[in-house]
Amino acid sequence: MAKAKKKSSKQPPAYLTKRILVSAARTGVRNAAVETMKLMGYTVIAHEGWVVRKYQDGHIEKISSLETANTNGSLPLD
């Protein structure tokens, strides 16, 4: 009888899946935002149709408005 190979749960898969990529990107962006806030005291983000500067104390300064995008079409991610 052939023995079944055991998969180690500690090693990531040898291929890159969309889920792994999205998770890694999201984690990286969050870490970068935290580091930017520590270094500069604010981060620049998009919020409710505006590009804003968000400060450590929580107040928000509007920089410029964003143009509305056409949301009728689909955005292929694959």
Q: Is the pLDDT of residue 4 over 70?
A: no
What's the burial of 69, exposed, middle or buried (CB within 10 Å: 0-12/13-18/19+)? Answer: exposed
pLDDT for the residue 1: 54
pTM here is: 0.57
Domain range summary for the chain, segments of one domain joined by +: 18-65
Between 19 and 13, residue with greater pLDDT:
19
Q: What is the CA radius of gyration of the chain?
A: 20
Which has the minimum average pLDDT: 16-20, 50-54, 70-74?
A: 70-74
Tracing tokens 């040898």 back to the chain, one arrives at: 14
Task: Using the structure block, give the residue that is written with the tokens 């079944």.
Answer: 4
For 28-69, write each residue's pLDDT tens digit: 999 999 999 999 999 999 999 999 999 999 999 999 999 877
